């Protein structure tokens, strides 16, 4: 695999994000990778591909640039880019065997929960859901666990798993660890450096950062796991398209500066909401009131741009608040430069059965904010105005 000068660990993260995955083109000097839209490549002789390129499902220079960049920034052996985050997760699970046990966090993105329960289970994998914020649970994983699958922070309740304890518990039973790092991004957290085997991303979110492309990624810690993922990526074929790879890489270049503003604005709004008389509760890892605040402070460089809150008056009041917002836009997804608001219960987590949502604490009046990079004072004023309607 090609390396770049951004592999130099002495460089800061911001420098590495700008340069990761691509050196200026030796032929033209292009500072960004061209979009290679070809489907196939001329071979020098039968079964003698030029520079290893045969077919774009298997090899594409634009996608390879993105994959190298993600691997460099996450500290992994190799990265893989997919057509969506769900395609990335599905491909990871394809590397397992029938009847393998996956232990997963009990608070997962609704699409992941649906994938596990309605597709992967039907294909023969077993799933067991636990509270991964509890060190006692992590120390007593089932003996036949094959994969420990984590989100941290989780979607939508922003639970934070102590990764050191999780990885130690998984190693005790011979399991591998995969961490969905979408909410934190490599700017704030690097699970591989803490011992994880695989990092998962919906690159649609903070990695691309502009709500204009859908994608996913896996970054693996070692070459053996990379071979298995590469085989299944190529065989199943849900790869990132060249132009999507280009857009994602373009967004990635500004990840550090965007995350700084996301975090700054989210901290401001979390404090504002926590002090507001019409707000019942606020969930944000950067608040001392968050039950895993100290864990987050120990393993993350900042606390992210996502927060949740509940309005006094329940679901009806929450619906009035989201309808009254003007800068925040009512939409699913997250991690873009613009601020978004949603109600996870009837929206992103509607595929989770209502009784299960209630057990987890995802009430229909829970409001989730993806805090963008607009002027923080404008975002606060927008929330203040909307809360007056509650």
Is 109 tagged catalytic? yes
Q: Is the peptide bond before 270 cis (omega within 30 degrees of 0)?
A: no
Is 205 tagged catalytic? yes
Is 180 tagged catalytic? yes
Q: Annotated catalytic residue: which of 16, 78, 107, 180? A: 180
Mean pLDDT, residues 161-181: 98
Is 57 tagged catalytic? yes
* Domain(s) of CATH 3.40.640.10: residues in the chain: 5-252
CATH architecture of 5-252: 3-Layer(aba) Sandwich (3.40)
Summarised one tens digit per residue, pLDDT across range 78-130 is 999 999 999 999 999 999 999 999 999 999 998 999 999 999 999 999 999 99
Q: Annotated catalytic residue: which of 16, 63, 78, 205? A: 205
Q: Distance between CA atoms of 327 and 120, rounded to whole angstroms? A: 39
- pTM of the complete model: 0.95
Q: Distance between CA atoms of 61 and 249, rounded to whole angstroms? A: 12
Strands 176-180 and 145-151: parallel
352 DSSP 8-state letter: S
Q: Annotated catalytic residue: which of 57, 114, 250, 278? A: 57
Of 3.90.1150.10, 3.40.50.300, 3.30.300.30, 2.10.25.10, the CATH number of 256-387 is 3.90.1150.10
* Domain(s) of CATH 3.90.1150.10: residues in the chain: 256-387
Q: Distance between CA atoms of 279 and 130, rounded to whole angstroms? A: 29
Q: How confident is the model at residue 388 (pLDDT cuts 50, 70, 90)?
A: very high
Percentage of the chain beyond pLDDT 90 is 90
* Nearest Cα residue to 259 out of 344, 212, 341, 189: 189
């Amino acid at each position: 695999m090609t390396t770049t000068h951004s592999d130099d660990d002495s460089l800061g993260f911001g420098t590495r994000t700008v340069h990761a995955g691509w050196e200026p083109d030796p032929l033209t000097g292009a500072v960004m990778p061209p979009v290679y839209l070809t489907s196939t490549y001329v071979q020098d002789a039968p079964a003698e591909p030029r520079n290893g390129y045969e077919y774009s499902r298997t090899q594409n220079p634009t996608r390879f640039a993105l994959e190298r960049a993600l691997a460099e920034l996450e500290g992994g052996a190799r990265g893989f880019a997919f057509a969506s985050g769900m395609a990335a997760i599905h491909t990871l699970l394809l590397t397992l065997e029938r009847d393998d046990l996956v232990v997963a966090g009990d608070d997962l993105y609704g699409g992941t929960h649906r994938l596990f329960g309605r597709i992967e289970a039907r294909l023969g994998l077993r799933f067991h859901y636990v509270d991964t914020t509890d060190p006692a649970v992590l120390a007593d994983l089932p003996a036949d666990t094959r994969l420990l699958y984590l989100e941290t922070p989780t979607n939508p309740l922003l639970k934070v798993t102590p990764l050191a304890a999780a990885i130690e518990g998984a190693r005790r039973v011979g399991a591998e660890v995969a961490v969905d790092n979408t909410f934190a991004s490599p700017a704030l957290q690097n699970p591989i450096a803490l011992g994880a085997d695989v990092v998962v991303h919906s690159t649609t979110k903070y990695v691309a950062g502009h709500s204009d492309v859908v994608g996913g990624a896996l970054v693996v810690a070692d070459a053996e796991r990379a071979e298995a993922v590469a085989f299944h990526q190529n065989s199943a074929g849900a790869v990132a398209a060249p132009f999507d790879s280009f857009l994602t890489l373009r967004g990635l270049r500004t990840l550090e500066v965007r995350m700084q503003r996301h975090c700054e604005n989210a901290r401001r709004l979390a404090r504002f909401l926590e002090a507001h008389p019409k707000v019942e509760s606020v969930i944000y890892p950067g608040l001392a009131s968050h039950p895993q605040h100290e864990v987050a402070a120990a393993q993350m460089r900042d606390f992210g741009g996502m927060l949740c809150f509940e309005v006094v008056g329940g679901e009806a009041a929450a619906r009035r608040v989201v309808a009254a917002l003007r800068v925040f836009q009512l939409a699913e997804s997250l991690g873009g430069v613009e601020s978004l608001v949603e109600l996870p219960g009837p929206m992103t987590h509607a595929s989770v059965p209502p009784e299960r949502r209630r057990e987890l604490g995802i009430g229909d009046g829970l409001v989730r904010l993806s805090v963008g990079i607009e002027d923080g004072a404008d975002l606060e004023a927008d929330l203040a105005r909307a809360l007056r309607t509650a």
